[in-house]
Structure formats: structure tokens, C-alpha cells
Amino acid sequence: MDFDKIKFDEKGLVPVIVQDIKTNAVLMLAYMNRESIEKTIETNNMVYFSRSRQKLWLKGETSGNFQTLHELKIDCDGDTLLALVSQKGVACHTGSYSCFFESLQGDSQYAYGYGIIDELYGVIQDRKANPKEGSYTNYLFDKGIDKILKKIGEEAAEIIIAAKNDAPDEIRYECADLMYHLLVMLCERGLSPSEIFTELEKRRQ
């Protein structure tokens, strides 16, 4: 690591933009100092400097939502870093996948592609680790695998009916329901969407 390339501010800090390497979503903005960068490289887990607490902060230390570093980049001016990470669970303390969930202007939705699957799975993982009152996801986990599998069967049957009726809106809605319940089942059984993607890649012809 060539620290001479980094332009730390007068407090010895540099801002870092954190991006999910799978979904390309911007997760959060934080700050790092030299020590936190060294710790991050040493452990491969993102360590930041908390300006409010004036100490190092291992992301996920209390929530379990760790960020694994894949690559640390620097911008052309040397005064901002970009961390490409794998996000476990959600990034925001509010329970949202990304800290940038509120729109100030505009209402367009940018496409994640398959990344929305990883985003939703991250939220489901967080609900399992940190139950939230009134959460339907937690209701399913509380009821157990039999309830989850029953819902998968019901949603699959509803897709068949919607397709037979040639009802595009219903097909779209019921497919989304099925995919959600499949993700809950995967989480319950300890599998990840990436494992399914890998299996699909094997079947590509």
C-alpha cells in the first residue's frame, strides 16, 4: 500500500465510498485513517474510523453485517477511496440494504439486474439474525421450514393458474412471491443465491 498517494485531510482522514461488488449498488460513505486502512488490509474486513466516537470501527462488529474487501481503489485526485466489498446482510443501521434509500429528486428506479436478488437475500439474512417485530420474514422463520415450504407450493400453484389464464400482471406478481419465498428457504437451509447462479451456469448450452 502506497500511502503517499492518499491525500488525508488535516485530521488524517479520507472519505471512502463503499460499493457492493455483486450488485454495483453504493452502500454507504465512511471515513478511514491510515490505521483503519492497515487493519482492513490485514483482516480483509472493512474497518473505518468513527468521527463521532473518535475510534476505529469494524463494520459488523455488533450487527454481524460484515463487509469483506475485494479491492480498494483511489480516485484521480487521491482524496477519495472506493471499496468494492461483499456485503453480509444489510449496510445501513436502519435495516435498509443501502444507506442511500431516500430519493430527494426524481422517482426513477435503476435496475439491479440479478443484484436485486442479493439485496433482498441480504435483508432476509438480517431479519434472521436481527428479528424485527411485525416482519413477515420473521413470521416465516418462527413458523419453521414446513410453513416456508407450504408457501412455496402455494405460490408455484398460483403461477400455474396465472399462466394458464394468460394474465401477465398476475404472472409477474406471483413469480415475485415465489422468488421471495425461495430466498427465505435458502436462508433457512444455509444456501446462498450465488450457489444457484453457479448451478445455472453449469446448465448453460
Q: What is the pLDDT of residue 109?
A: 54
Cell of 21: 461488488
What distance lies between CA 30 and its chain's CA centroid? 17
How many C-beta neighbours within 10 Å does residue 91 have? Answer: 27
Torsion of CA 127, 96, 172, 147, to 10 degrees: 10
User: Was domain 3-87 assigned CATH 3.10.20.810?
Assistant: yes
DSSP 17-67: EEEETTT--EEEEEEE-HHHHHHHHHHSB-EEEETTTTEEEETTTTTS--E
Q: How far is CA 63 from CA 67, 142, 187, in A?
A: 11, 20, 17
- The whole-number pLDDT of residue 125 equals 92
pLDDT of residue 8: 97
Is the pTM of the predicted complex or chain greater than 0.85? no
**Chain region(s) in the chain for CATH 1.10.287.1080:** 131-202
What pLDDT was estimated at residue 113?
Answer: 59
pLDDT of residue 77: 96
The pLDDT, as a whole number, for residue 116 is 81
Q: How far apart, in whole angstroms, are the C-alpha atoms of residue 139 and residue 141?
A: 6
Query: Which residue from 20, 30, 19 is spatially nearest to 93, judged by alpha carbons?
Result: 30
pLDDT in tens, the chain (205 residues): 789 999 999 999 999 999 999 878 899 999 999 999 999 999 999 999 999 999 999 999 998 899 999 999 999 999 999 999 999 888 998 888 889 888 788 765 554 556 788 889 989 999 999 999 999 999 999 999 999 999 999 999 999 999 999 999 999 999 999 999 999 999 999 998 888 888 888 887 6
What per-residue confidence (pLDDT) applies to 108? 52
CATH 3.10.20.810 domain position(s) in the chain: 3-87
pLDDT of the residue at 104: 84
The CATH number that domain 131-202 falls under is 1.10.287.1080
Q: Can you tell me which residue has the cell 443484484?
A: 115
